[in-house]
Amino acid sequence: MRRSRCSQLLAAALAIARSGLQAQQAPSAEGATFLLLPVGARAVALGQAAVADAGTAEGLFWNPAALASLPRSEFAFHHHTAFFGITDAASVSVVANGVGTFSLAAFIVDYGDFPVTPGGPGGGPQPIGQITTRNLALLASYATQLSAAVHGGISYKLAQLRVDCSGECSTVPTATGTTHAVDLGVQVIIPAAVPIVFGAALRNFGFKLQVNNQAQADPLPTRLQLGVAVVVLRASPRTGRLDLRLLADVRGPLGSDGGAGGGQVTLVGLESGAGETVRLRAGYAFSEGETRGPSFGVGIRVGTVVLDLARVFYASDALAEREPVHLSLRVAF
């Protein structure tokens, strides 16, 4: 498989900055694969089975149609610490009654700042420059109720990959690549005795990411995700007012073999709690890569403020000591 120009530049910069750095993922023929990184502790705790989930602004990053059921305007901040660096995202979603929901968001992946030493790896101890590696995505979304049972949404994305260097950088391949994409989503609500929500989202559909020239442009990691959410146990005095919800998704690449993001993935999640004050969540990602495994999380609501926490436990021993922690803070207004 051809190694992408974007991956080559980033790998070269990091290899110069960190002597002996070992890649954590296989080479990919896709560009902007950071767009596949999960955003939001709620979805992560549910095993990323989020395409049929609704009611929070977190849906902006999974299925824009979920924004149509947002009860109030909401500000959200998401933080994620992983083996490769830190990701942060912030969004503002405004509910306009009778019109729909409008959202703006920014998503940043920070791989860190690394010193450049004389002679490259194994050179002198005094740094002569600094490498800065960042990925950035800006989103603008709109969702509305198409009918009593159907919600639809669309997101526009501007995605950028950056490898910058300051100081003496003659041995460092700097680069900037920018592209554009859209997400399209729909949710269908079946108000039966056992409420069911079906969801579908097409994510990262857009132009190739070009860093050097058109011949070396890489396709985006376009994914189609289908899912269902079912309330299998309603809250009642008989059950101690506990409820139970089951979510299941299938996600796969569209127009490519999936690259480093893998092929088809099955995702499942469970959520339970007594009301909205405390919610317990668990999930499992049945992927073919090293990042498959279980996830657990909790959500705590105090008034209009919600704090969500999630932890992923990788099946890979190589990543077991660096399992990611996700934190989300949401405030309704």
Task: Report residue 18's pLDDT band, with 50, 70 and 90 as the boundaries.
Answer: very low
How long is the chain? 333
Instruction: Check residue 258 and give its pLDDT.
Output: 56
**What whole-number distance in Å separates Cα of residue 161 and Cα of residue 11?**
13
pLDDT at 311 over 90: yes
pLDDT at 27 over 50: no
Task: Report residue 272's pLDDT band, with 50, 70 and 90 as the boundaries.
Answer: very high
Those residues whose C-beta lies under 8 Å from the C-beta of residue 238, and which sit 6 or more positions away, are none
Highest-confidence range of 6-10, 234-238, 268-272, by mean pLDDT?
268-272
Question: Using an 8 Å Cβ cutoff, are 89 and 39 in contact?
Answer: yes
Those residues whose C-beta lies under 8 Å from the C-beta of residue 157, and which sit 6 or more positions away, are 35, 137, 138, 139, 180, 181, 182, 183, 204, 206
DSSP class per residue in 50-80: -TT--SSGGGGGT-GGGGGG-SS-EEEEEEE
Instruction: Check residue 215 and give its pLDDT.
Output: 56
pLDDT at 299 over 60: yes
- Using only the alpha carbons of the chain, give its radius of gyration: 21
The amino acid at residue 133 is T
* Cα–Cα nearest to 45, from 324, 311, 315, 322: 311
Q: Is pTM beyond 0.75 here?
A: yes
**What whole-number distance in Å separates Cα of residue 177 and Cα of residue 149?**
40
For residue 42, report the phi and psi dihedrals to the nearest 5 degrees. Answer: -60, -50
Instruction: Check residue 288 and give its pLDDT.
Output: 65
Q: What is the 3-state secondary structure (H, E, C) of 146-190?
A: CCCCEEEEEEEEEEEEEEEEEECCCCCCCEEEEEEEEEEEEEEEE
Q: What is the mean pLDDT of residues 298-321?
A: 84
Question: Using an 8 Å Cβ cutoff, are 68 and 187 in contact?
Answer: yes
Those residues whose C-beta lies under 8 Å from the C-beta of residue 51, and which sit 6 or more positions away, are 62, 63, 185, 199, 200, 201, 225, 226, 227, 249, 251
Question: Using an 8 Å Cβ cutoff, are 196 and 11 in contact?
Answer: no
Question: Using an 8 Å Cβ cutoff, are 217 and 209 in contact?
Answer: yes
Per-residue pLDDT tens digits for 108-130: 999 888 887 776 544 557 778 88
Which residues, listed in sequence order, are joined to residue 327 by a DSSP beta bridge? 79, 309
